[in-house]
Structure 1
Amino acid sequence: MLRGGKLLVLTGPAGVGKGTVEVALRKKHPEVWVSVSATTRDPRPGEVNGVNYWFLSEEEFADKEKAGEFLETALVHGLAHYGTLLQPLVDHMSVGTPTILEIDLQGARRVKEKAAELGLEVVTVFIAPPSFDELVRRLTNRGTETEEQRKRRLETAHVELAAEHEFDVTIVNDDVNRAADQLWDIIAKEYGKEA
């Protein structure tokens, strides 16, 4: 079904800097496409529909799920549904565009399970913090969650960090540009591009 390079499935705990690493990567390599997930959570200040996420109502999400339009879906932090729309992924990978899917741990596991039936090759990449204390600091400093949301995300982070061994590659995000370069090295290898 899908041709081209392997899909890079990128996971890591909230606050680890996945999005920041992706921005740094795309500054140097704008040809990389990052999948835009759908979610039922409310937009954060400054987020744009179709750019940061596709913001859907619970009903819209359920309709798309029933129609088989998602590669995977998950309820994250017990708060909101997230999902990966399949068609944009197929469209980009079929023409050999380096493609990243940033996703939570549950979603990464589902993608790995579905990969074989879809003819989809994946490389799983775990973005890790230098330490748990640093993760707490980053999550607190970004100021996008309430205290209760932050507490839930940190509880989830313990589970996510314990699953690091399930991934093909770990990149420690102790320096954003170095982490972005390491991510490009993986993409370059999988897509036959110059490192």
Structure 2
Amino acid sequence: MEFTERQEAIIQMLKAKSPLTGEEIANQLKLSVPTIRADLRLLTAIEVLSARPKVGYVYQGNGQTGVDYAALYDQPISAIMQPAPTIKDDATLQEAISKLFLEDVGTLFVVDQKGLLVGLISRKDLLRASFNNSNPASVLASIIMTRMPNIVTVTADMTVKQAGQLLLKHKIDSAPVVDANAPQRVVGRLTKNRLFQHFIEKA
């Protein structure tokens, strides 16, 4: 990670002498404490500095073990995606309910006989359909699913940042991961929980 001239000056200052308070650092730079506050927060967040209450800031490393932003945001979805829970479009509502709970997922991706994505069934869809139908074995998944093209998909070559922005923009908890060259071929799934897990593991 590249630092600004001011951040480099703070690092060198604390390398030479630690601890220093925020006021001492600001005085040496001939700046105000609010001016350098963002720099101190960043350097502390990536573990170049540590902040000790009533003591000040201490230099503790070169940041190589800090947050690797490239690993966090630029990694392709293919590296973190999970297996896709799919069900055929001629499966019954009862089969869909059983599969959803057995696999403990929030969404099933509906595929046709060629294995191509044609729809999506969420827990809400299944709950609503169950209330409206007394015989789940008589209702097909294709009747209650949300159909293409009304499904937000991500591609395996998208970065974590790009895919995460799509989930946030459309306010959805998961999305099918599809092949960029065959947009109806499902290759995995991405969920908000998986993204959260990725950030915790890499932070």
Tell me the TM-score range normalised by the shorter chain: under 0.3
Larger radius of gyration: 2
Higher relative contact order, structure no. (Cα contacts within 8 Å, ≥ 6 residues apart): 1
